[in-house]
Chain A
Amino acid sequence: MSEYAAQTSPILLLDLALLTLLVVTAFSMMRVRRLFAVVMLSGIYSLLSAAFFVSLDAVDVAFTEAAVGAGISTVLMLSAMLLTARREKPVVPGHRPLALVVVLITTAALFYATIDMPGFGDPNAPANTYVGQAYVEQTPKDIEVPNIVTAVLASYRGYDTLGETVVIFTAGIAVMLLLGAGSVRGGRKVKDPNPDEPVALQSAGTQEQLEKGRAP
Protein backbone atom coordinates (compact mmCIF):
# COMPACT_ATOMS: atom_id res chain seq x y z
CA MET A 1 0.00 0.00 0.00
CA SER A 2 2.78 2.43 0.88
CA GLU A 3 4.55 1.56 -2.37
CA TYR A 4 1.36 2.45 -4.24
CA ALA A 5 1.21 5.80 -2.46
CA ALA A 6 4.85 6.53 -3.23
CA GLN A 7 4.26 5.77 -6.90
CA THR A 8 1.34 8.15 -7.21
CA SER A 9 2.87 11.05 -5.33
CA PRO A 10 4.00 13.07 -8.41
CA ILE A 11 0.49 12.62 -9.79
CA LEU A 12 -0.89 13.85 -6.50
CA LEU A 13 1.30 16.95 -6.70
CA LEU A 14 0.20 17.46 -10.28
CA ASP A 15 -3.46 17.23 -9.24
CA LEU A 16 -2.85 19.73 -6.48
CA ALA A 17 -1.21 22.14 -8.92
CA LEU A 18 -4.09 21.74 -11.40
CA LEU A 19 -6.70 22.34 -8.70
CA THR A 20 -4.83 25.42 -7.46
CA LEU A 21 -4.75 26.80 -10.99
CA LEU A 22 -8.49 26.09 -11.28
CA VAL A 23 -9.21 28.07 -8.12
CA VAL A 24 -7.00 30.96 -9.26
CA THR A 25 -8.73 31.02 -12.65
CA ALA A 26 -12.19 30.96 -11.08
CA PHE A 27 -11.43 33.84 -8.73
CA SER A 28 -9.85 35.93 -11.45
CA MET A 29 -12.91 35.31 -13.64
CA MET A 30 -14.96 36.93 -10.90
CA ARG A 31 -12.56 39.85 -10.43
CA VAL A 32 -11.88 40.75 -14.07
CA ARG A 33 -14.33 43.29 -15.50
CA ARG A 34 -13.32 43.05 -19.16
CA LEU A 35 -15.66 40.46 -20.63
CA PHE A 36 -13.29 39.23 -23.33
CA ALA A 37 -10.78 38.29 -20.64
CA VAL A 38 -13.55 36.40 -18.85
CA VAL A 39 -14.31 34.44 -22.04
CA MET A 40 -10.65 33.52 -22.52
CA LEU A 41 -10.33 32.59 -18.86
CA SER A 42 -13.37 30.33 -19.08
CA GLY A 43 -11.74 28.57 -22.02
CA ILE A 44 -8.60 28.16 -19.93
CA TYR A 45 -10.74 26.91 -17.03
CA SER A 46 -12.28 24.15 -19.11
CA LEU A 47 -8.89 23.15 -20.53
CA LEU A 48 -7.58 22.86 -16.97
CA SER A 49 -10.55 20.84 -15.79
CA ALA A 50 -10.21 18.56 -18.84
CA ALA A 51 -6.59 17.91 -17.88
CA PHE A 52 -7.75 17.19 -14.35
CA PHE A 53 -10.37 14.72 -15.65
CA VAL A 54 -7.67 12.91 -17.62
CA SER A 55 -5.61 12.64 -14.48
CA LEU A 56 -8.67 11.11 -12.77
CA ASP A 57 -8.92 8.57 -15.66
CA ALA A 58 -12.28 9.98 -16.77
CA VAL A 59 -11.14 10.25 -20.37
CA ASP A 60 -14.57 10.46 -21.99
CA VAL A 61 -15.63 13.29 -19.69
CA ALA A 62 -12.39 15.06 -20.53
CA PHE A 63 -13.13 14.68 -24.25
CA THR A 64 -16.55 16.27 -23.80
CA GLU A 65 -15.22 19.01 -21.57
CA ALA A 66 -12.52 19.96 -24.05
CA ALA A 67 -14.84 19.90 -27.07
CA VAL A 68 -17.80 21.66 -25.47
CA GLY A 69 -16.13 23.80 -22.82
CA ALA A 70 -13.04 25.01 -24.62
CA GLY A 71 -14.41 24.88 -28.15
CA ILE A 72 -18.11 25.54 -28.53
CA SER A 73 -18.95 27.50 -25.41
CA THR A 74 -16.06 29.91 -25.95
CA VAL A 75 -17.45 30.77 -29.37
CA LEU A 76 -21.00 30.98 -27.97
CA MET A 77 -19.92 33.36 -25.22
CA LEU A 78 -17.96 35.44 -27.70
CA SER A 79 -21.00 35.82 -29.91
CA ALA A 80 -23.11 36.73 -26.88
CA MET A 81 -20.48 39.28 -25.87
CA LEU A 82 -20.55 40.85 -29.32
CA LEU A 83 -24.30 41.36 -28.89
CA THR A 84 -23.89 43.10 -25.52
CA ALA A 85 -21.21 45.26 -23.97
CA ARG A 86 -17.47 44.68 -23.80
CA ARG A 87 -17.26 45.51 -20.12
CA GLU A 88 -19.14 44.43 -17.06
CA LYS A 89 -20.85 47.19 -15.12
CA PRO A 90 -19.11 47.97 -11.83
CA VAL A 91 -20.77 46.25 -8.91
CA VAL A 92 -21.45 48.21 -5.78
CA PRO A 93 -19.77 46.25 -3.01
CA GLY A 94 -22.10 45.47 -0.14
CA HIS A 95 -21.89 43.27 2.91
CA ARG A 96 -24.45 40.49 3.16
CA PRO A 97 -23.75 38.48 6.29
CA LEU A 98 -26.67 36.09 5.72
CA ALA A 99 -25.30 35.01 2.32
CA LEU A 100 -21.88 34.39 3.86
CA VAL A 101 -23.43 32.24 6.60
CA VAL A 102 -25.39 30.19 4.02
CA VAL A 103 -22.28 29.65 1.91
CA LEU A 104 -20.20 28.66 4.93
CA ILE A 105 -22.82 26.16 6.14
CA THR A 106 -23.12 24.61 2.66
CA THR A 107 -19.34 24.33 2.42
CA ALA A 108 -19.13 22.68 5.81
CA ALA A 109 -21.87 20.20 4.84
CA LEU A 110 -20.11 19.33 1.58
CA PHE A 111 -16.77 18.85 3.33
CA TYR A 112 -18.50 16.70 5.95
CA ALA A 113 -19.98 14.57 3.14
CA THR A 114 -16.55 13.94 1.63
CA ILE A 115 -15.41 12.24 4.84
CA ASP A 116 -17.69 9.27 4.09
CA MET A 117 -16.46 8.90 0.54
CA PRO A 118 -14.20 5.90 -0.21
CA GLY A 119 -10.59 6.49 -1.16
CA PHE A 120 -9.64 7.06 -4.80
CA GLY A 121 -9.24 3.69 -6.51
CA ASP A 122 -10.36 1.77 -3.42
CA PRO A 123 -11.19 -1.81 -4.57
CA ASN A 124 -13.76 -2.17 -1.77
CA ALA A 125 -15.71 0.94 -2.71
CA PRO A 126 -19.39 0.34 -3.61
CA ALA A 127 -18.78 1.53 -7.15
CA ASN A 128 -16.15 -1.18 -7.69
CA THR A 129 -17.80 -4.12 -5.95
CA TYR A 130 -21.30 -4.89 -7.22
CA VAL A 131 -22.32 -3.84 -10.72
CA GLY A 132 -18.97 -2.43 -11.75
CA GLN A 133 -17.23 -5.72 -10.99
CA ALA A 134 -19.83 -7.60 -13.02
CA TYR A 135 -19.28 -5.30 -16.00
CA VAL A 136 -15.52 -5.71 -15.76
CA GLU A 137 -15.86 -9.48 -15.69
CA GLN A 138 -18.62 -9.89 -18.29
CA THR A 139 -17.63 -7.37 -20.95
CA PRO A 140 -14.71 -9.30 -22.48
CA LYS A 141 -16.94 -12.41 -22.72
CA ASP A 142 -20.15 -10.73 -23.90
CA ILE A 143 -18.78 -8.06 -26.22
CA GLU A 144 -15.30 -8.01 -27.61
CA VAL A 145 -14.74 -4.31 -27.01
CA PRO A 146 -11.57 -3.44 -25.12
CA ASN A 147 -12.99 -0.22 -23.66
CA ILE A 148 -15.59 -1.07 -21.02
CA VAL A 149 -17.11 2.41 -20.97
CA THR A 150 -17.78 2.15 -24.69
CA ALA A 151 -19.26 -1.31 -24.26
CA VAL A 152 -21.63 -0.11 -21.54
CA LEU A 153 -22.70 2.97 -23.49
CA ALA A 154 -23.09 1.40 -26.90
CA SER A 155 -24.20 -2.12 -26.10
CA TYR A 156 -25.53 -2.71 -22.56
CA ARG A 157 -27.32 0.62 -22.57
CA GLY A 158 -27.68 0.84 -26.32
CA TYR A 159 -31.34 1.84 -26.35
CA ASP A 160 -30.67 4.49 -23.72
CA THR A 161 -27.89 5.98 -25.84
CA LEU A 162 -30.10 5.80 -28.93
CA GLY A 163 -32.80 7.77 -27.10
CA GLU A 164 -30.31 10.40 -26.00
CA THR A 165 -29.00 10.73 -29.53
CA VAL A 166 -32.54 11.16 -30.88
CA VAL A 167 -33.23 13.89 -28.32
CA ILE A 168 -30.03 15.77 -29.17
CA PHE A 169 -30.63 15.32 -32.90
CA THR A 170 -34.15 16.72 -32.56
CA ALA A 171 -32.88 19.68 -30.56
CA GLY A 172 -30.24 20.35 -33.20
CA ILE A 173 -32.81 20.27 -35.99
CA ALA A 174 -35.08 22.60 -34.04
CA VAL A 175 -32.27 25.09 -33.47
CA MET A 176 -31.33 24.96 -37.14
CA LEU A 177 -34.94 25.62 -38.14
CA LEU A 178 -35.18 28.53 -35.71
CA LEU A 179 -31.95 30.12 -36.88
CA GLY A 180 -32.85 29.62 -40.52
CA ALA A 181 -31.56 27.03 -42.91
CA GLY A 182 -29.41 29.59 -44.72
CA SER A 183 -26.93 29.80 -41.89
CA VAL A 184 -25.89 26.22 -42.46
CA ARG A 185 -24.73 26.97 -45.97
CA GLY A 186 -23.02 30.15 -44.86
CA GLY A 187 -25.20 32.04 -47.31
CA ARG A 188 -27.38 33.97 -44.94
CA LYS A 189 -28.37 37.50 -45.74
CA VAL A 190 -25.86 40.13 -44.74
CA LYS A 191 -26.71 43.39 -43.09
CA ASP A 192 -25.95 46.23 -45.41
CA PRO A 193 -22.55 47.73 -44.49
CA ASN A 194 -23.11 50.80 -46.67
CA PRO A 195 -26.79 51.76 -46.85
CA ASP A 196 -26.11 53.95 -49.90
CA GLU A 197 -25.54 50.91 -52.09
CA PRO A 198 -28.81 49.04 -52.52
CA VAL A 199 -27.13 46.08 -54.20
CA ALA A 200 -25.23 44.98 -51.13
CA LEU A 201 -28.51 43.77 -49.66
CA GLN A 202 -28.56 40.91 -52.12
CA SER A 203 -25.90 38.73 -50.60
CA ALA A 204 -26.39 36.08 -53.25
CA GLY A 205 -25.57 38.60 -55.96
CA THR A 206 -22.61 37.76 -58.14
CA GLN A 207 -19.69 40.00 -58.94
CA GLU A 208 -21.35 41.03 -62.17
CA GLN A 209 -24.50 42.16 -60.42
CA LEU A 210 -22.45 44.12 -57.93
CA GLU A 211 -20.61 45.96 -60.65
CA LYS A 212 -23.82 46.61 -62.57
CA GLY A 213 -25.47 48.01 -59.48
CA ARG A 214 -22.54 50.28 -58.77
CA ALA A 215 -22.39 51.71 -62.30
CA PRO A 216 -25.29 54.18 -62.02
Chain B
Amino acid sequence: MMFAVAAFAIIVAMVLTLLRAILGPTLYDRVLAGNSFGTKTVLLLGVMGYLTGRPDFLDIALLYALINFVGTIAILKFFRYKDLSPVMGDVRSSNKGETS
Protein backbone atom coordinates (compact mmCIF):
# COMPACT_ATOMS: atom_id res chain seq x y z
CA MET B 1 0.00 0.00 0.00
CA MET B 2 2.79 2.37 0.93
CA PHE B 3 4.56 1.70 -2.36
CA ALA B 4 1.32 2.22 -4.29
CA VAL B 5 0.90 5.64 -2.71
CA ALA B 6 4.52 6.46 -3.48
CA ALA B 7 4.03 5.39 -7.10
CA PHE B 8 0.94 7.58 -7.33
CA ALA B 9 2.86 10.55 -5.97
CA ILE B 10 5.66 9.95 -8.48
CA ILE B 11 3.13 9.80 -11.31
CA VAL B 12 1.68 13.14 -10.20
CA ALA B 13 5.18 14.62 -10.16
CA MET B 14 5.76 13.19 -13.65
CA VAL B 15 2.61 14.91 -14.91
CA LEU B 16 3.77 18.25 -13.48
CA THR B 17 7.23 17.84 -15.02
CA LEU B 18 5.71 16.91 -18.36
CA LEU B 19 3.58 20.06 -18.25
CA ARG B 20 6.72 22.10 -17.65
CA ALA B 21 8.42 20.41 -20.60
CA ILE B 22 5.48 21.19 -22.87
CA LEU B 23 4.74 24.73 -21.67
CA GLY B 24 8.17 25.77 -20.43
CA PRO B 25 8.93 29.16 -21.93
CA THR B 26 12.73 28.98 -21.88
CA LEU B 27 15.20 26.38 -23.07
CA TYR B 28 16.51 25.72 -19.58
CA ASP B 29 13.02 24.96 -18.29
CA ARG B 30 12.86 22.17 -20.82
CA VAL B 31 16.37 20.86 -20.14
CA LEU B 32 15.58 20.79 -16.44
CA ALA B 33 12.21 19.16 -17.10
CA GLY B 34 13.86 16.40 -19.15
CA ASN B 35 16.49 15.85 -16.48
CA SER B 36 14.04 15.70 -13.62
CA PHE B 37 11.72 13.48 -15.65
CA GLY B 38 14.61 11.02 -15.92
CA THR B 39 15.00 11.18 -12.14
CA LYS B 40 11.29 10.50 -11.73
CA THR B 41 11.63 7.48 -14.02
CA VAL B 42 14.47 6.14 -11.88
CA LEU B 43 12.34 6.56 -8.75
CA LEU B 44 9.35 4.95 -10.43
CA LEU B 45 11.43 1.94 -11.48
CA GLY B 46 12.65 1.52 -7.93
CA VAL B 47 9.15 1.73 -6.47
CA MET B 48 7.83 -0.56 -9.20
CA GLY B 49 10.43 -3.18 -8.28
CA TYR B 50 9.26 -3.21 -4.66
CA LEU B 51 5.61 -3.05 -5.72
CA THR B 52 5.97 -6.29 -7.68
CA GLY B 53 8.09 -7.84 -4.93
CA ARG B 54 11.15 -8.13 -7.18
CA PRO B 55 13.68 -5.42 -6.38
CA ASP B 56 16.26 -7.12 -8.63
CA PHE B 57 15.71 -4.49 -11.29
CA LEU B 58 17.24 -1.72 -9.22
CA ASP B 59 20.42 -1.84 -11.29
CA ILE B 60 18.39 -0.78 -14.32
CA ALA B 61 17.35 2.27 -12.34
CA LEU B 62 21.04 2.93 -11.72
CA LEU B 63 21.73 2.68 -15.47
CA TYR B 64 18.92 5.14 -16.14
CA ALA B 65 20.41 7.58 -13.67
CA LEU B 66 23.77 7.34 -15.48
CA ILE B 67 22.19 7.82 -18.92
CA ASN B 68 20.18 10.74 -17.62
CA PHE B 69 23.28 12.46 -16.26
CA VAL B 70 25.34 11.92 -19.41
CA GLY B 71 22.43 12.98 -21.62
CA THR B 72 21.88 16.23 -19.77
CA ILE B 73 25.57 17.05 -19.97
CA ALA B 74 25.54 16.27 -23.70
CA ILE B 75 22.57 18.57 -24.30
CA LEU B 76 24.10 21.43 -22.34
CA LYS B 77 27.43 20.92 -24.08
CA PHE B 78 25.70 21.13 -27.42
CA PHE B 79 24.19 24.46 -26.57
CA ARG B 80 27.42 25.87 -25.25
CA TYR B 81 29.85 24.66 -27.90
CA LYS B 82 27.59 23.46 -30.76
CA ASP B 83 29.70 20.31 -30.71
CA LEU B 84 30.34 17.29 -28.52
CA SER B 85 34.10 17.43 -28.78
CA PRO B 86 35.19 21.05 -28.74
CA VAL B 87 38.83 21.92 -29.16
CA MET B 88 40.07 24.06 -26.33
CA GLY B 89 41.49 26.76 -28.59
CA ASP B 90 38.04 27.16 -30.07
CA VAL B 91 36.53 27.64 -26.63
CA ARG B 92 39.03 30.29 -25.69
CA SER B 93 38.57 32.32 -28.84
CA SER B 94 34.77 32.04 -28.65
CA ASN B 95 34.94 33.31 -25.07
CA LYS B 96 37.03 36.20 -26.26
CA GLY B 97 34.57 36.91 -29.00
CA GLU B 98 31.71 37.11 -26.51
CA THR B 99 33.42 39.50 -24.15
CA SER B 100 34.71 41.86 -26.79
- For A13, what are the chain B residues with a Cβ–Cβ distance below 8 Å? 4
Interface size class of B (residues with CB under 8 A): 35 or more
User: What number of residue pairs across chains A and B have CB atoms under 8 A from each other?
Assistant: 120
For chain B, residues 78 to 100, give those with C-beta under 8 angstroms from any C-beta of chain A.
78, 82, 84-85, 87, 89-90, 93-94, 97
Judge whether B18 and A70 touch: CB under 8 Å. no
For chain B, residues 48 to 76, give those with C-beta under 8 angstroms from any C-beta of chain A.
48, 51-52, 57, 60, 63-64, 67-68, 70-71, 74-75
Judge whether A44 and B21 touch: CB under 8 Å. yes
Q: Give Cα distance in the complex from A200 to B60, angstroms.
A: 45
Would you call A41 an interface residue if the criterion is a C-beta within 8 Å of the partner chain's C-beta atoms? yes
Judge whether B85 and A183 touch: CB under 8 Å. yes
Judge whether B41 and A48 touch: CB under 8 Å. yes
Contacts A37-B21, A210-B89 given; does A10 touch B51 at CB 8 Å: yes
- For A203, what are the chain B residues with a Cβ–Cβ distance below 8 Å? 87, 89-90
Contacts A44-B18, A44-B34, A194-B93 given; does A187 touch B87 at CB 8 Å: yes
Contacts A75-B84, A79-B78, A210-B89 given; does A50 touch B64 at CB 8 Å: yes
| Chain B positions near chain A (C-beta within 8 angstroms) | 3-4, 7, 11, 14-15, 18, 21-22, 24, 27, 30-31, 33-34, 37-38, 41, 44-45, 48, 51-52, 57, 60, 63-64, 67-68, 70-71, 74-75, 78, 82, 84-85, 87, 89-90, 93-94, 97
Q: A14-B44, A54-B45, A203-B87 known; 18 other A-B pairs, CB under 8 Å?
A: A10-B51, A11-B52, A21-B11, A36-B27, A37-B22, A37-B30, A40-B21, A40-B31, A44-B21, A51-B48, A59-B60, A66-B67, A67-B63, A75-B84, A183-B85, A190-B89, A194-B97, A203-B89
| Chain A positions near chain B (C-beta within 8 angstroms) | 10-11, 13-14, 17-18, 21, 24-25, 28, 32, 36-37, 40-41, 43-44, 47-48, 50-51, 54-55, 59, 62-63, 66-67, 70-71, 74-75, 78-79, 82, 183, 186-188, 190, 193-194, 197, 200, 203, 205, 210
